[in-house]
Amino acid sequence: MKKELHIQQVRKRFGKKEILKDVSLLFAQGEIVSLFGRNGSGKSTLLKIVFGTLKADAIQLTINGKNIPPRDIIPNQLIGYLPQDHFLPRHIKVRDVIPLFHTGGDDQDRIFRAPFVEKIATRKIGTLSLGELRYLELLLVAHLEHPFLLLDEPFSMIEPLYKEVIKEFLLSLKAKKGILLTDHYYSDVLDISDRHLVMVDGVCKTAESVEDLKRLGYLQ
């Protein structure tokens, strides 16, 4: 049975500014859902809240109808999260950072056998290009056992070659994960996403086409 994550009635205020007014959305294993929005619209804030590293003023999370307290997300490995900022220590070699995330031999082998990893395995994290680094971070997070995955700008500022590899990889993950991703490189996101949402005035609205993205004020 596929798992379905329902995010409901998310509200978040910073001081007098209400960033998220009443955000609700759902996604399931087997699909990639894109979340668009202008800078400051609350996309990253929403992902942090759902993952559990930022406290909401209000939120309800359910998986297949069962209520999930946000504090249970991380310890129970229910949702994986790729943050916008890089998080790997720069002084460690790639081959040494992989076992920090994956202790099992099979898990490690899948990453070491992934395209382009062999050629960077002996290099230190700090010497990788932005594309190499983002790709490695994605591999480390996405191969964990979470049924749901949140991705904050997986395509940002990386080389076209790695964009294509990342697209293929994300499409391959659909069979076992539900993926919610946000990125300003909208054409790359549209290439792989099944449904599209736009954050507008603190709520989520559905978009079915590029024309909808324009109508909702995301594109000119």
Indicate if the pLDDT at residue 105 is higher than 80: no
The arithmetic mean of pLDDT across residues 176-187, rounded, is 94
Q: For residue 65, which phi and psi values (nearest 5 degrees)?
A: 85, -5
Picking from 175, 213, 160, 159, the residue whose alpha carbon sits closest to that of residue 36 is 213
For the chain, give the mean pLDDT.
93
pLDDT of residue 51: 94
What predicted TM-score, i.e. pTM, was given to this entire model?
Answer: 0.94
Cα(190)–Cα(167) distance, rounded to whole angstroms? 10
pLDDT of residue 220: 79
Strand partners, 204: 199
* Torsion sign over Cα 139, 46, 89, 145: negative
| Residue keyed to tokens 């900022």 | 85
pLDDT of residue 80: 95
Model confidence at 94, pLDDT cuts 50, 70, 90, reads very high
Picking from 5, 105, 95, 90, the residue whose alpha carbon sits closest to that of residue 46 is 5
Return the domain boundaries, the chain: 4-215
Reading the block at residue 167, the tokens are: 């697209």
Cα(107)–Cα(219) distance, rounded to whole angstroms? 40
Out of 3.40.250.10, 3.40.50.300, 3.30.420.40, 3.90.850.10, which CATH number does the structure's domain 4-215 have? 3.40.50.300
Q: Report how far apart, in Å, the C-alpha atoms of 35 and of each of 15, 98, 151, 180 are.
A: 25, 29, 10, 7
